[in-house]
Amino acid sequence: MVILDGKKTSNDLKDEIAIAVAKRRSEGKKIPHLAAILVGTDGASMTYVNSKVKSCEKVGFNSTLIDLPEDTTEDQLLNEIDDLNKDNDIDGFIVQLPLPKQIDEQKVLMAVDPNKDVDGFHPVNVGKMTLDLPTFLPATPYGIMELLKRYKVETSGKNVVVIGRSHIVGRPMSILLSQKRDVGNATVTLVHSRTKNLEEITKEADIIVAALGKAEFLTGDMVKDGVTIIDVGITRVKDDSKKRGYRLAGDVDFESVSKKAGFITPVPGGVGPMTIAMLLKNTLLACENRD
Ligand code: NAP
């Protein structure tokens, strides 16, 4: 069994990005600048945004964190987005999800300039991705593709089962892996909460991407020998033995599944760090596009 080490791979990627930034600097070109908008004080969101900003520093990007209070109105947020759209120094920006309930998420995503949409969530970019056109790929599926590529996991002709159909993970993952591309050409089945006989389907899979957000859902008896497992889930599970009172659990029961898997991502240290690295890669691309 081989561990797909997202931490190491993301550090390799960050080193490559840092070299590209240093080269830009020596050539007198613009330094990439990523902005992040955080609304409210959700613990997990604050952790994610802070590590995104820290990663910017690591690769030599400029970064700006816009921290807005929980009671921010939709109009106020749309104004901030408008400012970032117009700001010539900002190459790309993200609005950390989820948003407080008074704000319509779709309206917000639609307001982001597609050329600065480094999360790849704007309909224009989703459309381009679906049509195999070059664009910003959503960071989590993009990170998974990169991990599969760097570990030379064969996807062509394989049976892939993606569990979960969210717009940010499951749906784009199923599209990308079914496309005629380097890491792709797979026969993809997308399953969700209404799927019947899920276990019969997962047992036939050569590769499983678990993105449903249910701690340790996929167990060893649901998979076949030699399967490749990509665990996207991150759930905080109460654990009094930990100082912070919880542990992070994936969607996969690592203990039983790793005994049968050929390749497997750990949680933490698998898909999570790759997501951040791909956000940086998209920001570098956004900056290069504006050269
Ligand atoms: P989401 O929007 O809540 O979607 C979950 C999906 O799973 C839905 O399509 C749902 O089906 C399906 N589902 C729920 N229960 C199911 C079941 N028992 N059997 C089969 N399918 C089931 O979640 P998400 O945003 O994609 O996130 C999924 C997990 O990944 C979460 O733990 C999240 O924290 C994590 N995540 C990690 C990263 C990272 O960088 N590592 C990034 C994003 C998300 P329906 O559509 O029928 O409701």
Mutation pick for ligand 1 pocket among 96, 99, 192, 201 (CB with most ligand atoms within 8 Å): 192
Percent composition of the chain: helix, strand, coil (DSSP 3-state, to 5): 40, 20, 40
Ligand 1, atom 17, lies closest to the CA of 193
| Catalytic residue (one of 52, 91, 117, 251) | 52
28-113 and 139-272 in the same fold? yes
Q: What is the pLDDT of residue 151?
A: 98
Instruction: State the burial class of residue 7 (Cβ atoms within 10 Å of its Cβ: 0-12, 13-18, 19+).
Output: middle
Q: How far is CA 229 from the centre of its chain?
A: 16
pLDDT category at 61 given cuts 50, 70, 90 is: very high
Span 260-278, average pLDDT: 98
What is the tens place of the pLDDT at every residue in 108-153? 999 999 999 999 999 999 999 999 999 999 999 999 999 999 999 9
- Sole residue written with tokens 């949409």: 117
Q: What are 74's two structure tokens?
A: 């939709």
Q: Are 220 and 1 in contact (CB under 8 A)?
A: no
Q: What is the pLDDT of residue 256?
A: 98
SS3 call for 256: helix
Q: What are the domain boundaries of the chain? A: 28-113, 139-272
- Sole residue written with tokens 């599969």: 148
Side-chain half-sphere CA neighbours of 22 within 13 A: 8
Ligand 1, atom 34, lies closest to the CA of 234
Residue 15 CA to ligand 1 centre (angstroms): 30
What is the tens place of the pLDDT at every residue in 63-115? 999 999 999 999 999 999 999 999 999 999 999 999 999 999 999 999 999 99
What is the tens place of the pLDDT at every residue in 151-182? 999 999 999 999 999 999 999 999 999 999 99
Q: What is the pLDDT of residue 15?
A: 98
Domain 28-113 listed as CATH 3.40.50.720: no
10 membership: H or E segment, kind and range: helix 6-26
- Sole residue written with tokens 């991407």: 209
266 lines ligand 1 (CB under 6 A): no
Ligand 1 atom closest to 169 (CA): 26
CA-based end-to-end distance of the chain: 44
Ligand 1 atom closest to 276 (CA): 40
Mutation pick for ligand 1 pocket among 106, 232, 247, 265 (CB with most ligand atoms within 8 Å): 232
Domain 139-272 listed as CATH 3.40.50.720: yes
Q: What is the pLDDT of residue 277?
A: 98
| Catalytic residue (one of 117, 119, 206, 231) | 119
Please give the order of strands across the beta sheet that includes 187-191: 2-3, 263-264, 228-231, 207-210, 159-163, 187-191
Q: What is the pLDDT of residue 130?
A: 98
In the chain, % of residues over pLDDT 90: 99
Does the annotation count 96 as an active-site position? yes
pLDDT category at 219 given cuts 50, 70, 90 is: very high
194 lines ligand 1 (CB under 6 A): yes
pLDDT category at 34 given cuts 50, 70, 90 is: very high
Ligand 1, atom 40, lies closest to the CA of 272
pLDDT category at 228 given cuts 50, 70, 90 is: very high
Rounded distance, CA 238 to CA 283, Å?
35
